[in-house]
């Protein structure tokens, strides 16, 4: 363990801490640099992450490694079809006291931790999936009329298996919208795969060194999250983020009030059923702030927004059947939107 | 968080940054202003040169159309240039954004300028100022925008060069059609041979008209009748408009080229009254003009068309419809149009095909053509020899002598160009018919056979 920064972190402290965490994670996770960076960006932006990847790409390992590097409390829930909400949030049970009296006592569920891994979240029923909503959005859990606060930092990472769709329940849009970023883990390339083989089949296991002391980790991370919020966003950048989000909304949507204004791409009109919500704009700016700090700046730039746009917007865009039949994915739509808005700004 | 002293230093540094952004903005706005001015000047200079050259090179109607098109295009170009300059103007935020882009400062300056007046700037404000000031060399005005003079100066220079080249060429290429001294500074014209119309407003041609009191009264009466006849006829309003436009363009050309005024002021018109005691069919011309017109077709008219001589005593409006009568120089297209369209006037209804030939050939713009038409009739080939002097019906007068084209000739009420009388070149023969001469009796059959073919 090592000391990382003073009480009030500086921009340089943030970048240094971020890079250290990255380095620790990459001791176990080979490749996936962008995914790791987006994961940490979401953590310091105060959001949650949905990790999508085919089996064996290191989703669970990534989350576990993050917990170890941050030295924060970590829980894992394996979502199954028979998982109940109380299995997540906790429930009231009858316990006997020292004096022999029996009373209902709240038994906290796995949601009470700093880092929660919801593995294969789409295997649980929507009812169970929704049990996470309150915890993710408001950092609290209500059980039997009693609200319990979660200790910050609170970071939910849920994994999705996109190819085993049998017996799964796609996440409702409200649930999806709660995730700041959606990180995609693709298959490693040949070089990465070779390194994975050599590092995981040998006698030695890579040891993860925690970046923070267990006692001070939550405060340090919260301080870094506050620093992210201090990064300045010029009105032009906020307008740019808003235009990007609006450009993901199809003109023919009945939920778009002033379709005559703003930038619109024909591809959006053809393939998008619903565009991003305002949370998408918030995610853009928060992610851009993290990117700015990593670049040693106290202000965000257009490049920062564009860098996080796919992660922030893709899972908020609902495509129609035409997109599915034409093989168009949301990331492609976001890239087209970025080009359209950038061209309109010039 | 920053201390007050740190804030004060940050404010000083903020002033430096804003000052540099301000100088960038000043330079950008200067370029925008230059863009508007230079392009406007370029358009004005090029357009003015084109109009000036057109005044020399183009006929009036083409000049009018061209000038109008140029004015419209020029106005649109100026509006476009001003609009472009307006869009080029830079506010402080825009200047900062441009500086950010060109110096690759990743939005630092934009953020500072946008948030400079905010009360709550956040704990990273001083860091942002320090960080940005570290790049101050990169966003100096000279590095952000190297140019002090807009590129719009090139079109302006090109326009000036174009004007400098085009104007002398137009003057060289196109010599004035009117001789500087035509010698027609004194004309005596019979009132009955004049077609009159009211002068255009603003027409200051300088024509001096002199006559005795009775003739002047007749002139006024005739003027009133012609005006009434013109109004009653109604005419082709489009043709009138075209004529008016042509006149206007001609005046504009005259003003630009300075040619017309001089020729007009040379003329001094003296009116004679054909109905008075003097020789009623005689029109005196200046001696030199008479020298140029040796042909005389009066005799032919006397023999072949006895009514023609009587026509000289007809009321002026009848006479005005004679085929070889010409419109007034100021462009009264009505009577001329009737003549050219071959419309029969009451006085001419008894005339033969010869008369129509006169009308047709009258479009050619000379009495000679009309006389040739008469001579072509085998039945009227032979008569008394013509006198060497021109008859009253043998020529027209041209009060306004200026170059015009013959556009819209085939129209029903076409504009008939005023005749231009200039001094002929010594090497040039007048376009006049050969005067009737005595033909020996033994040759008449042969001559007649030739014409009958």
Average pLDDT, whole number, for chain A? Answer: 85
Query: pLDDT band at residue B273, thresholds of 50, 70 and 90?
Result: low
Instruction: Clarify whether residues A222 and A244 are in a common domain.
Output: no
User: Which residue in A299, A302, A303 is closest to B128 by CB distance?
Assistant: A299
Minimal C-alpha gap between A271 and chain B (Å): 33
DSSP string, A182-235: EEEEPPP-HHHHHHHHHHHSSS--PPPPPSS-TTTHHHHHHHHHHHHHHSB--H
Residue B284: pLDDT band (50, 70, 90) is very low
CA distance to A122, A176, A319, B80, per residue, from A172 (Å): 10, 6, 14, 53
- Angle (CA) B54 B57 B62, round 5°: 60
Look at A67-71, B126-130, B379-383, B397-401 and tell me which has the smallest mean pLDDT: B397-401
Interface predicted TM-score (ipTM) of this complex, two decimals: 0.81
At A58, the pLDDT band (50, 70, 90 cuts) reads confident
Instruction: Inspect the interface and report whether the beta carbons of A299 and B121 lie closer than 8 Å.
Output: no
Within a 10 A sphere around the Cβ of B412, how many other Cβ atoms?
A: 13
State how far the alpha carbon of A338 is from the alpha carbons of A38, A246, A304, B452, in Å.
Answer: 18, 11, 12, 90
A7 Cβ neighbours under 8 A, 6+ residues apart: A223
Q: What is the pLDDT of residue B345?
A: 40
CB A236 within 8 A of CB B97: yes
CA–CA separation, A76 and A54 (whole Å): 19
What number of C-beta contacts closer than 8 Å exist between A and B?
Answer: 58
Contact across the interface for A234 and B127, Cβ inside 8 Å: no
Indicate whether A69 and A121 sit together in one domain.
yes
Please give the average per-residue pLDDT across A185-205, as a whole number: 83
| C-alpha distance from A240 to closest chain B C-alpha (Å) | 12
- How far apart are alpha carbons B389 and B293 in whole angstroms? 8
For residue B120 the two structure tokens come to 């709550």
Final residue belonging to a domain, choices A184, A205, A226: A226
Mean pLDDT of A196-201: 82
Which is it for strands B268-272 and B208-210: parallel, antiparallel or unpaired? parallel
* Mean of per-residue pLDDT scores for chain B: 67
Assigned domain for A4 exists: no
List Cβ neighbours of A216 (8 Å cut-off, separation of 6 or more).
Answer: none
The pLDDT value recorded for residue B59 is: 81
Whether A105 and A59 share a structural domain? yes
Q: Could A299 and B111 be called an inter-chain contact, meaning their C-beta atoms sit closer than 8 Å? A: yes
Q: Would you give the distance in Å from CA B70 to the centre of its chain?
A: 13
CB contact under 8 A, A8 and B1: yes
Residue of A nearest to B125 (CA): A298
Listed residues A202, A226, A250: the one ending a domain: A226
Q: Which of B176, B185, B336 is nearest to B256 (CA)?
A: B176
- The mean per-residue pLDDT over the stretch A50-79 comes to 85
pLDDT band at B114 (very low <50, low <70, confident <90, very high): confident
Q: What is the pLDDT of residues B218-253, one digit of tens each?
A: 777 777 776 666 555 555 567 677 777 777 777 777
**Which chain B residues contact residue A302 at CB under 8 A?**
107
Is the model's pLDDT at B213 over the cut of 60? yes
Find how far residue B237's CA is from the centre of its chain.
20
Considering the domain architecture, whether residues A214 and A279 belong to the same structural domain is answered as no
User: Closest chain A residue to B2 measured between Cα atoms?
Assistant: A8
The C-alpha of B129 sits at a distance from chain A's nearest C-alpha, in angstroms, of: 9
**Do A271 and A182 sit in the same domain of this protein?**
no
pLDDT digits over B14-32, tens only?
888 999 899 999 999 999 9
Q: Specify whether A108 is located in the same domain as A241.
A: no
H helix runs in chain A, sequence order = 11-28, 33-45, 59-70, 85-89, 126-129, 131-138, 173-178, 190-200, 217-230, 235-247, 266-271, 278-294, 302-313, 321-326, 330-345
User: How many CB atoms sit inside 10 A of residue B4's CB?
Assistant: 7
A234 shares contact with chain B (CB less than 8 Å): yes
Q: Which two tokens stand for residue B18?
A: 């804003």
Higher pLDDT, B139 or B326: B139
Would A335 be classed as within a structural domain? yes
Same domain membership, residue A81 and residue A60: yes
Tokens of A333: 């739509």
- Yes or no: say if B21 and B109 are a contact pair by the CB < 8 Å rule: yes
Q: Taking a C-beta distance cutoff of 8 angstroms, is the pair A245, A276 a contact?
A: yes
Residue A5 counted as domain residue: no
Q: How far apart are the first and last CA of chain B?
A: 118
- Domain presence at residue A2: no
Predicted pLDDT at A95 = 83
**What DSSP designation does B350 have?**
T
pTM for this predicted structure: 0.64
The answer to whether B401 and B422 are in contact (CB under 8 A) is: yes
Instruction: Give me the mean pLDDT over the B84-102 stretch.
Output: 90
End-to-end CA distance of chain A: 49
Structure tokens of B216?
């002047």
Say yes or no: A243 and A221 in one domain.
Answer: no
Domain that holds residue A298: 231-345
* A234 CA: distance to closest CA in chain B (Å): 5
CA distances from B257 to A6, A8, A153 (A): 87, 83, 88
A181 with A73, same domain: the answer is yes
Partners of A237 on chain B (C-beta within 8 Å) are: 107, 110-111
Q: Where are the domains of chain B?
A: 4-173, 187-452
Distance CA B28, CA B90 (A): 6
Same domain, A94 and A165: yes
Beta-sheet pairing, A272-274 with A318-319: antiparallel
Q: Is B122 in contact with A237 (Cβ distance < 8 A)? A: no
Contacts with A, B 121-140, CB within 8 Å:
121-125, 127-128, 131
Q: Is residue A3 part of a domain?
A: no
Query: How many CA within 13 A on the CB side of residue A44?
Result: 33
Paired tokens of A15: 């970048």
pLDDT of A281 higher than 90: yes
Q: CA-based angle A13:A18:A23, to the nearest 5?
A: 125
Domain tally for chain A? 2
Alpha-carbon distance B269 to B187, whole Å?
5
Averaged pLDDT for residues A285-293 = 94
Q: Which residue of B has its CA nearest to A230?
A: B122
Q: CA B130 from chain center: how many Å?
A: 68
Residue B84 pLDDT grade (very low, low, confident, very high; cuts 50, 70, 90): very high
Instruction: Give the Cα separation of A222 and B366 in Å (integer).
Output: 106
The residue with greater pLDDT, B106 or A165, is B106
The answer for B 59-118 residues in CB contact with A (under 8 A) is 93, 97, 100, 106-108, 110-112, 114-115
CATH number at residue A167: 3.40.50.300
Whether B124 sits inside 8 A of A236 (CB atoms) is: no
């Amino acid at each position: 363990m090592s000391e990382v920064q003073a009480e009030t972190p500086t921009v340089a402290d943030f970048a240094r801490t971020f890079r250290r965490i990255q380095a620790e994670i990459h001791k176990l996770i080979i490749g996936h640099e962008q995914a790791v960076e987006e994961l940490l960006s979401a953590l310091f932006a105060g959001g949650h992450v949905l990790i999508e990847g085919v089996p064996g790409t290191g989703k669970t390992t990534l989350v576990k490694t993050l917990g170890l590097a941050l030295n924060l409390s970590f829980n894992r829930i394996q979502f199954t079809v028979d998982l109940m909400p109380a299995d997540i949030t906790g429930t009231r049970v009858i316990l006997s006291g020292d004096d022999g009296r029996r009373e209902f006592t709240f038994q906290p569920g796995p949601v009470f931790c700093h880092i929660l891994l919801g593995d294969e979240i789409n295997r649980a029923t929507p009812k169970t999936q929704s049990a996470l909503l309150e915890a993710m959005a408001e950092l609290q859990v209500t059980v039997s009329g009693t609200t319990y606060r979660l200790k910050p930092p609170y970071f939910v990472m849920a994994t999705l298996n996109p190819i085993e769709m049998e017996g799964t329940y796609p996440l409702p849009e409200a649930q999806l919208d709660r995730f700041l970023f959606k990180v995609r883990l693709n298959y490693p390339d040949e070089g990465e795969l070779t390194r994975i083989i050599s590092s995981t089949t040998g006698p030695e296991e890579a040891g993860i060194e925690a970046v923070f002391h267990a006692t001070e980790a939550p405060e340090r991370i919260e301080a870094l999250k506050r620093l992210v919020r201090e990064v300045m966003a010029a009105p032009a950048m906020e307008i740019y983020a808003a235009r990007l989000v609006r450009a993901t909304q199809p003109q023919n949507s009945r939920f778009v009030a002033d379709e005559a204004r703003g930038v619109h791409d024909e591809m959006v009109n053809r393939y998008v059923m619903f565009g991003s919500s305002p949370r998408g704009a918030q995610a853009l700016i928060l992610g851009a702030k993290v990117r700015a700090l990593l670049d040693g700046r106290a202000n965000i730039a257009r490049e920062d927004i564009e860098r996080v746009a796919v992660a922030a917007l893709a899972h908020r865009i609902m495509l129609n059947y035409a997109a599915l039949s034409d093989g168009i994915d949301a990331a492609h739509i976001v890239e087209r939107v970025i080009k359209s808005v950038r061209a309109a700004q010039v | 968080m920053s201390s007050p002293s740190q804030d004060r230093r940050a404010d000083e540094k903020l002033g430096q940054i804003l000052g540099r952004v301000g100088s960038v903005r000043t330079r950008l706005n200067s370029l925008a202003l230059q863009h508007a001015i230079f392009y406007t000047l370029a358009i004005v200079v090029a357009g003015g040169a084109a109009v000036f050259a057109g005044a020399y090179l183009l006929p009036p109607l083409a000049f009018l159309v061209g000038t109008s098109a140029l004015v419209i295009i020029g106005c649109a170009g100026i509006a476009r240039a001003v609009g472009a300059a307006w869009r080029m103007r830079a506010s402080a935020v825009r200047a900062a954004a441009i500086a950010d882009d060109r110096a690759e400062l990743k939005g630092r300056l934009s953020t500072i300028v946008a948030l400079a007046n905010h009360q709550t700037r956040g704990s990273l404000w001083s860091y942002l100022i320090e960080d940005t000031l570290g790049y101050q060399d990169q966003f100096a005005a000279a590095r952000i925008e190297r140019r002090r003079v807009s590129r719009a100066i090139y079109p302006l220079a090109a326009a000036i060069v174009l004007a400098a080249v085009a104007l002398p060429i137009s003057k060289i290429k196109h010599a004035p059609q009117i001789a500087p001294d035509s010698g027609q500074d004194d004309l005596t014209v019979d009132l009955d041979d004049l077609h009159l119309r009211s002068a255009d407003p603003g027409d200051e041609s300088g024509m001096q008209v002199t006559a005795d009191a009775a003739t002047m009264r007749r002139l006024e009466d005739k003027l009133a009748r012609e005006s009434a006849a013109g109004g009653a006829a109604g005419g082709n309003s489009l043709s009138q408009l075209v004529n008016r436009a042509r006149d206007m363009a001609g005046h504009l050309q005259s003003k630009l080229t300075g040619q017309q005024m001089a020729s007009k002021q040379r003329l001094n018109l003296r009116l004679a009254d054909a109905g008075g005691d003097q020789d009623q069919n005689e029109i005196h011309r200046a001696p030199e003009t008479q020298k140029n017109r040796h042909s005389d077709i009066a005799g032919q008219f006397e023999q072949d068309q006895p009514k023609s001589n009587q026509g000289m005593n007809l009321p002026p409006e009848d006479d005005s419809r004679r085929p070889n009568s010409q419109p007034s120089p100021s462009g009264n297209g009505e009577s001329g149009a009737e003549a050219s369209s071959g419309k029969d006037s009451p006085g001419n209804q008894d005339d033969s095909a010869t008369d129509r030939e006169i009308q047709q050939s009258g479009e050619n713009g000379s009495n000679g053509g009309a006389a040739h038409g008469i001579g072509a009739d085998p039945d009227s080939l032979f008569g008394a020899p013509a006198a060497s002097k021109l008859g009253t019906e043998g020529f027209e007068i041209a009060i306004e002598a200026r170059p015009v084209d013959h556009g819209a000739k085939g129209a029903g009420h076409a504009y008939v160009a005023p005749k231009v009388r200039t001094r002929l070149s010594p090497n040039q023969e007048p376009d006049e018919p050969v005067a009737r001469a005595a033909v020996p009796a033994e040759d008449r059959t042969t001559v007649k056979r030739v014409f009958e073919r």
